[in-house]
Chain A
Amino acid sequence: MAEMKTAAYICKGCELGTRLDAASLVKIATKEGKMNLVREHDFLCSADGVAMIKNDIASEGVTHVAICACSRRAKTEAFNFPTVAMSRGNLREGVIWIRPDTDAARETTQEMAEDYVRMACAEVKAMKVPEGNQNTGGVKTLLVVGGGISGMTAALEASKAGYKVVLVEKAGELGGMTAKLYKRIPTREPFKAPEDNGIADLVAQIEADANIKVYLNATLAKTSGAPGRFKVEIAVESGSVATEDVGAIVQATGFGLYDMNKLPHLGGGQANVVDQAGLEALARAANGGPIKRADGKEVKSVVFVQCAGQRDTTGEHLQYCSGHCCNTSIKQAMYFKDSNPDIDTVVLFTDLRTPGNGEDFYRSAQNKGVIFSKGVVSNVSASGGGCKVKFKDLILNEETETEADLVVLATGMVPTSGPDLDALSEATRAAEGGDEAAKEQVIQMKSKSVLNLDYRQGPDMPQFKHGFNDSHFICFPYETRRTAIYAAGPVRRPMDTVQAIEDATGAAMKAIQAMENAGLGKAAHPRAGDLSFPTARLEGCTQCKRCTVECPFGAIDEDEKRFPLFNESRCRRCGTCMGACPVRVISFENYSVNTVGAQIKAVDIPDEFSEKPRVLILACENDAYPALDMAGMNRYEYDAFVRVIPVRCLGSVNTIWITDALNSGYDGVMLMGCKHGEEYQCHFVKGSELGRYRMSKVYDTLKGMNLEEERLMDLEVAITDIETLPQKINDYAAKIVEMGMSPFKGL
């Protein structure tokens, strides 16, 4: 780019002109901000104001723009100048809206505004226009792993949207678990009877679709590359290996059944006890006629045991509910009742959970005479020609028992999500240390891999709870921790076919979006469209590997010289690598150690005797910063001595910012990030957790500086904390006043 020419614009609209001394802000921008061009405007986001800026860019050659008006989250359409670097000084939501309009407050309010002008000027000078890397690969073919109902749906949906699809199925035919069902839970009105499993129709559609290429008896031997340029090696049963170029991946590898042999007390392994899949097989064999046991005897009475090895509180079996089994047992009880209403069918449950329209289905089964008893089964044993089921009736509060020809155990879903990466890396470390058992374990774990990614962080997607792939159920369900690889169906969370179909459709759409973004060099969720990407000054790199280990998305590999190798299209632009880097060589064009560092330094620090402390707030731009903006919109007041800098994620916070701030006389630093742990709300999954871990190390530094630990405060903030956040800020500010001013001022 040509020579840098900077410009600052001071807006006087939205009462900014009357509440603040604009002339003084102009002076600050000129003298202290050292901007080449400074203008004020009565209504900057109006057509006239925007035209003025555009004109300056076009005819004055302005390359760096500092807009001192409202929050960076407001008026983004008006202030959209993609060719120049731009910063925003938040004078409206950040200053006048959170301060009272009184004579007493005028001075501190003005000082606050002046600091934000200084910060905006300093920031923009440290920024570059992100150019985006268009050479990251533009393959627009989708790979779907798994040919069950989820996989087939994803393939068909992508094809309907006009994309080519490669479908890889491990078995010899399409259909997966659903194909093994005699019938499925009803998907449409009136939800009263089991319906056809629908697989034949889907398979016919796949076969007739020229966009979809199917590999049967095939697995992924290796997946390398990045979004837009994945290379997959597909191992076919014959031993040959096919190679395909794909842009994105949908992993719909479904589930396996929890092994009922682990449930001997419930009769797992006994002759007249089957799991739900076992009963489907019997029902398929009967095909509408009388259902017969393995020994050929016609079943006259059957007991269904719900939650067999599920929702287990002892930790021995599955701890979760698989969601479909109550409806499945209702369906299977109907197999019996529909063939002969005189067959005794009893469902023993603790809580009958019928998601979707299952309530109608449940009622229909009751109407057909299926008996539902609230009871906990303690033992199933062989008795006479059948089974004796001992259970505690929870309504009548008594131990009782019943006899049945056949017992069906509702065992749960176990996701086919590959090895747990943490366990694998631990085993690998032990194996490298020469542990023979660990070596065997590594081989065994790797053999379970589904994707066989050649990523530095491991061959599959990271898991969250109970082996399911990590994805945020509520906020962004399809996202995983591997960019452009989406999980769909029961590999993501337990679900039935109706949910799996919806899930697969969503995942296919997300995958298409990811491919398109990758081709343009743009980031995927949550910074969708961001063109910046991290680069490292490798000459300064010490090969500590923190960035490659910490990246929540496994975006960074290592090159042959063991330097970090950034895969831009895998990157979500959270900046965790930048926060992790101890030598601070990683930066984005428009977000770096410098852009934030310059803002921290730009703030005017009054001397020790001024009674004007300064508190730096580093606020997550996804939750905390919008919450602060909304507090402003609601005119909730907070302390005038805080200076807020938005960060991409708590994970991007480099400890140097904290130590620099405290060294230069700030009296306190407040970090605002999302909840982490099991119920995390971090948009980058691990970012806030990693950031917090890093910050815990700063307390030692504080001790070394002879500062109180309370000078650094870590606050968990959700976007909904609009009302409570101002109070928390004020409390902290009061605490700082109580503690006294920092001894580092003016040094």
Chain B
Amino acid sequence: MSDMNQQMTARYKNNFLKEIEEQAEMGDWVKMCMQCGVCSGSCPTNFHGGWDHPPQELFMMIRAGKRDEVLSSNSMWQCVSCYNCYVRCPRKVPITHVMHGLAEYAYRLGRAPKMQPTLHLSQTFWNNATKYGRVNEVKLTQSLYFKDGIGSGIKKALEMQSMALGLVKAKRLNPMEAIGGGHKCKDLKGIHAMLAKARELEAKRKGRQPA
């Protein structure tokens, strides 16, 4: 991934705004921010728990070319996707989407913070879903529960025991999925080909070397 980082640094030199506009999803909205701060004022997280930068500040940093600080910021990982900011933005900037775009781009460049819970969840979900073309809920739950080790995994599982049994009784959860690969989508090859094509198209659109 740091290859890509070098590649992008070389390509955009000092123009970080242009880099974001072209490389990050929805990044072309960053220039439309007028710094009113309604997004920050609307955020239900209130920036507690260690937000590095409120959204409009992050946008300003992009314009000011603060590449390292933006990409290593934890702000875009803190977004809970409530869409308050997007709804209220007087400039109709899709702030929530821009935040996700920035997060994704930072991850691609290998600049995302390590062991970030949001990142971990996204990654696990993505791997789980793309492997067999379907989400295997038992395995997804497993990998999330045991993320921090066996002990805490068992503790969490016991805590959720009654809910799990309820789901099994209601036939919403099949424990057998945990064994083997679980059930797959019919055309696994097709799905993988589709994802590969999508990656190829994205790389082409963004002028990147195909992964």
When the two chains form the complex, which single residue of B17, B66, B91 contacts A371, counting CB atoms closer than 8 Å?
B17
Tell me whether B60 and A395 are in contact (CB under 8 A).
yes
Interface of B is mostly: helix
A400 on interface, CB distance cutoff 8 Å: yes
Instruction: Tell me whether B31 and A367 are in contact (CB under 8 A).
Output: yes
Complex Cα–Cα for A367 and B61 (A): 18
B35 / chain A contacts, CB cutoff of 8 Å: 372, 374, 395
Q: A395 vs B54: C-alpha distance in the bound complex, in angstroms?
A: 10
B57: chain A residues at CB < 8 Å are: 395-396
- Is there an interface contact between A352 and B32, defined as CB atoms closer than 8 Å? no
Contact between chains at B31 and A363 (CB < 8 Å): no
Q: Is the CB of B31 within 8 A of A366?
A: yes
- Please tell me if B56 contacts chain A, counting CB pairs below 8 Å: yes
Q: Mark A31-55, 1 if CB is under 8 A from B, else 0.
A: 0000000000000000000000000
A730 on the interface (CB 8 Å rule)?
no
Q: How many angstroms between the C-alpha atoms of A362 and B91 in the bound complex?
A: 11
Cβ of A386 within 8 Å of any chain B Cβ, yes or no, is no
With a cutoff of 8 Å between Cβ atoms, the chain B residues found around residue A362 in the complex are: 34
| Cα(A352)–Cα(B33), bound, Å | 13
Q: Which residue of A lies closest to B69 (CB)?
A: A396
B61: A residues at CB distance < 8 A = 396
Q: Are A396 and B60 in contact (CB under 8 A)?
A: yes
Give the total number of A-B pairs whose CB atoms are below 8 A apart. Answer: 32
Chain B's closest residue to A394 (CB) is B35
A interface footprint on B53-72 (CB within 8 Å = 1, 0 otherwise): 00011001101101000000
Q: Which residues of chain A are near B66, meaning CB under 8 Å?
A: 396
Q: Choose among B17, B34, B61, B66 the residue with the greatest number of A CB atoms under 10 Å from its CB.
A: B34
Does A352 contact B56, Cβ atoms closer than 8 Å? no
Cα A311 to Cα B21 in complex, Å, equals: 35
Known: A363-B91, A371-B63, A373-B64. A395 touches B56 (CB 8 A): yes
CA distance A374 to B34 in the complex (A): 9
- Taking the closest CB of chain A, its distance from the CB of B152, in whole angstroms, is 39
- From B32, B60, B64, contact of A366 by CB (8 A): B32
Task: Given the known inter-chain contacts A363-B91, A395-B57, please indicate yes or no for A373 contacting B63, CB distance below 8 A.
Answer: yes
Is there contact, CB below 8 Å, between B64 and A400? yes
Interface string of A368-407 (1 = CB under 8 A from B): 0101111000000000000000000101100010000000
A363 to B31, CA, bound (A): 9
**For residue A395, which residue of chain B has the nearest CB?**
B60
Once A371-B17, A393-B64 are accepted as A-B contacts, the answer to whether A363 and B32 lie under 8 Å apart by CB is yes
Question: What residues on A are CB-neighbors of B31 within 8 Å?
Answer: 366-367, 369, 371
Name the A residues within 8 Å of B60 (CB-CB).
373-374, 393, 395-396
Chain A residues near B63 (CB, 8 Å)?
371, 373
Q: Which residue of A lies closest to B21 (CB)?
A: A369
Shortest C-beta distance, B66 to chain A (Å), equals 8
Report chain B residues within 8 Å CB of A395.
35, 56-57, 60
Q: Please give me the residue from chain A that is nearest to B31 by CB atom.
A: A366
Please indicate the chain B residues that have their CB under 8 angstroms from the CB of A374 in the complex: 35, 60
Q: Min CB distance, A303 to chain B, in Å?
A: 13
Residues of B within 8 Å of A373, CB to CB, are 60, 63-64
Interface bits A390-432 vs B (CB < 8 Å: 1, else 0):
0001011000100000000000000000000000000000000
Contacts A395-B56, A396-B57 given; does A367 touch B64 at CB 8 Å: no
* Closest chain A residue to B32, Cβ basis: A366
* Minimal beta-carbon separation of B17 from chain A (angstroms): 7
CB atoms of B64 and A372 under 8 A apart: no
Residues of B within 8 A of A372 (CB): 34-35
Question: Known: A363-B91, A395-B56, A396-B57. Contact between A352 and B64, CB under 8 A?
Answer: no
Report how far A594 CA is from B34 CA in the complex, Å. 64
Give complex CA distance A252, B15 in Å. 47
Whether the pair B32, A367 counts as a contact (CB closer than 8 A) is yes
Residues of chain B within 8 A of A396, CB atoms compared: 57, 60-61, 64, 66
Give the docked Cα–Cα distance between A352 and B91 (Å).
15
Most buried by B among A363, A371, A393, A396: A396
Q: Can you identify 10 A-B contacts, CB atoms within 8 angstroms?
A: A352-B34, A366-B31, A366-B34, A367-B31, A373-B60, A373-B63, A374-B60, A396-B57, A396-B60, A396-B64
* Residues of A participating in the B interface, judged by any CB pair closer than 8 Å: 352, 362-363, 366-367, 369, 371-374, 393, 395-396, 400
Excluding A366-B31, A373-B60, 13 further A-B contacts by CB distance (< 8 Å) are A362-B34, A363-B32, A366-B34, A367-B31, A367-B32, A369-B31, A372-B35, A373-B64, A395-B57, A396-B60, A396-B61, A396-B64, A396-B66
Tell me the B residues contacting A by CB distance below 8 Å.
17, 31-32, 34-35, 56-57, 60-61, 63-64, 66, 91
**Closest A-B pairs by Cβ, 9 of them:** A395-B60, A366-B32, A366-B31, A371-B63, A374-B35, A395-B57, A395-B35, A396-B60, A369-B31
